[in-house]
Amino acid sequence: MSASDPSVSAAVQTARHREWDEHAPKLAQQALQQLVAPVRDLATDWHRLEVLRILHADTTERCRRLPLFADFDAVDPLAVREAAVRLSSDAQFHAFLLLEVWHRVLRDLRRLQLDLLGYPEPPGVHEGVAATQRRLQRQQRRRRLVTALPKPRRTDPAFEELFRPEVKGADIVEALQARDVLNAAGQWAGISGRKRELVALVMALSEGGYLATTNRTALARAFSARFGCSLSRSLAARWDLVPNDLVEQFRRWFPPRGRATKA
């Protein structure tokens, strides 16, 4: 059994105090983050609670198998730091330090479970403003560990990204401007002013092999944004409602996998 050694010098105790204060919280935080990293990807808080319960049980069992666990467990938690710095060997001190790290991990795992259940960390006796802020910060840090990350919002591809590598969007724009389908500012004028004409253009380009994507919603958004012509979702998706004569006009201008003509 480890015992306090009164012969441990003040210099050694000071160095151990510093190591304890610097490394115990840092290592505990790192271990906790690694342990619970997959938890945030679980489907619900119920699943997170169940996994945290299992992690707590497994970590408890792991701690019980560490060297000097019985000695560490017998010390008052408020006095364990002072007991550790007075141990007779560095090996014993580092065994206590490792146990302290896992003790903090276990405490935070339990606290995480309570947080998920809606039971916040209670304030301390005679807690001041600074202590309250630290408690709330701890709670926020813990919650971030198990809160699912927001899914990145899908963004529509840029206009040039819609086309195959061998096709230049600028050539398409130039050909449309040459036929006054686009005005000088590159905005949609159309042939007869019907919005279905823009859908007909997209259909002809898609059928002709000019486009790299077949996602109708993405195509409609990108073309309407580029040419300043708003399209409803239903109009963009219902290609079957576009008259074939409109599509045929654009097919003549943009033959299959050919370069847009200017004539």
Give the span between the Cα atoms of 191 and 207, in whole angstroms.
20
Give the span between the Cα atoms of 118 and 60, in whole angstroms.
24
56-60, 104-108, 179-183: which has the minimum mean pLDDT? 179-183
Q: For 175-218, how does the pLDDT look when each residue is reduced to its tens digit (9 = 90+)?
A: 889 988 888 888 888 887 677 888 888 888 888 889 887 777 77
- Burial string for 41-58 (b: 16+ CB within 10 Å, else e) reads ebeeeeebbeebeebbee
pLDDT at 258 over 60: no
Average pLDDT of the segment spanning 2-17 = 83
pLDDT at 260 over 60: no
5-9, 79-83, 207-211: which has the minimum mean pLDDT? 5-9
Average pLDDT of the segment spanning 155-171 = 81
Closest CA to 181 of 220, 223, 227, 221: 227
Higher pLDDT, 188 or 220: 188
pLDDT at 90 over 80: yes
- Say what the pLDDT of residue 149 is: 57
- Say what the pLDDT of residue 41 is: 85
- Say what the pLDDT of residue 233 is: 73
- Say what the pLDDT of residue 153 is: 59
pLDDT at 145 over 50: yes
- Say what the pLDDT of residue 259 is: 47
- In one-letter notation, the amino acid at residue 34 is Q
* pLDDT tier for residue 152 given thresholds of 50, 70 and 90: low
